[in-house]
Amino acid sequence: MDEFGLIDTFVSQFDVAPPPRGPGDDCAVLPKQGPSCVTTDALVEGVHFTRGTFSMPDVGHKALAVNLSDLAAMGARPAWFTVALGLPGWATARDVKKLGGGMARLAKLHRVELIGGNVTRADQLSLTLTLSGALEGPPLLRSGAKPGDALYLSGPVGDAALGLSLLGTNSGASSPLVDAQRRPVPHVAFGRFARRHCSAGIDVSDGLAQDLGHLCRASGVAAELDSAALPMSEALLDAAGSRKAAQPYALRGGEDYVLLVAVRDPPAFERALTRAGFEAWRIGTLRKGSGVNLDGVRLTGRLGFTHR
């Protein structure tokens, strides 16, 4: 199938506007927009996934999910996105259809609109997405936290990292941990809530310790984490065998895509959480200084995952 056939196969699975807003012209033309966020992130075969452990719909889902998580971290409402596909020789029209199918399901759920993209031959399968989200007020930044703020997580951590190690020993493994690795759920609605109720935020993509380190540096504060308060799933605790064995995954494992937020007034935040029907786990406090501490001990060394 030629380039244009592949583009049609991919795009036909999305709800798209006609040109000039949707795909099909040389550029997409957007109406005048208010304040918005833009993010871009790539998913590359051999770096972020392998064909043996991810299905094509998994890859399509995850490529969009990781970008949605960055919009969530800013408190933005997803609006539109573009996709640049790098297709190796082995990729068939059926593979392209499945990639688009996994992505289109998540796009529909978040009402984020595909407005254009590109297809090229490549050595590895790669998907580079650019997403934009609308801001309904000031964005949630990494730099807004102050000493005394409390730290909360919007979900458990560690599942995706243990899921990845399960896939390393058994590519056909299936469990909630493997699902967390293959099909992360971006916390978009929580992010929009957090924008109104939190002083700073970041998504946990590279591991709690590392991403908390980014927030601390940007805000000029130190963090005190309480190991007993780290939220861990039953699946993680079962698979790891104990809380102690699970802790490295929770602390330094990556790709959970939950949100980490700083909160100035915890009682007011918790009342707002209950009213809005969200859950969050208080894991520590910020103070003057620098660095990330766990139970009073400074964390050093490799804090999380880096993709290079």
User: Which residues are at the interface with Mg ion (CB under 5 A)?
Assistant: 70, 203, 205
Q: Which is nearer to Mg ion, 68 or 103 (CB)?
A: 68
- Cβ of residue 248: shortest distance to Mg ion, in angstroms? 21
Place of tokens 């833009």: 38
Q: Identify which of residues 70 and 149 has a Cβ nearer to Mg ion in the complex.
A: 70
Closest-CA residue to 63 (of 4, 14, 130, 6): 130
Reported residue count of the chain is 308
- What minimum distance in Å lies between the beta carbon of 116 and Mg ion? 23
Q: Which is nearer to Mg ion, 101 or 139 (CB)?
A: 139
Residue 64 near residue 107 (C-beta atoms within 8 A): yes
Of 210 and 233, nearer to Mg ion (C-beta) is: 210
Rama region for 137: left / alpha / beta (φ>0; ψ in -120 to 50; rest):
left
Helix H or strand E encompassing 134: strand 126-134
Distant-in-sequence, close-in-space partners of 305: CB < 8 Å, separation ≥ 6: 161, 206, 207, 210, 252, 253, 254, 255
Q: How far is the CB of 241 from Mg ion (least distance, A)?
A: 31
143 or 171: whose CB is closer to Mg ion? 143
Closer Cβ to Mg ion, 203 or 255, answer by number: 203
| 15 contacts: CB under 8 Å, gap ≥ 6 | 107, 108, 113
Angle (CA) 300 302 307, round 5°: 150
At residue 243, φ and ψ (nearest 5 deg) are: -65, -40
- Report the nearest approach of Mg ion to the CB of residue 25 (Å): 31
Q: Quote the least distance from Cβ 129 to Mg ion, whole Å.
A: 13
Please give, one letter per residue, the 3-state secondary structure of 208-259.
HHHHHHHHHHHHCCEEEECHHHCCCCHHHHHHHCCHHHHHHHHHHCCCCCCE
Token pair in block for residue 253: 């494992």
Output 95 or 211, the one with its CB closest to Mg ion: 211
CB atoms within 10 A of CB 66: 22
Residue 283 beta carbon to Mg ion: minimum distance, rounded to whole angstroms: 18
Q: Which is nearer to Mg ion, 53 or 205 (CB)?
A: 205
Task: Give min distance, CB of 187 to Mg ion, in A.
Answer: 12
Q: And the tokens for 203? A: 């998504």
Nearer to Mg ion, 149 or 206 (CB): 206
CB of 203 to Mg ion, least distance (A): 4
The closest alpha carbon to 304, from 182, 157, 186, 176, belongs to 157
Nearest-approach distance from CB 56 to Mg ion, in angstroms: 25
| H or E stretch covering 83 | strand 77-87
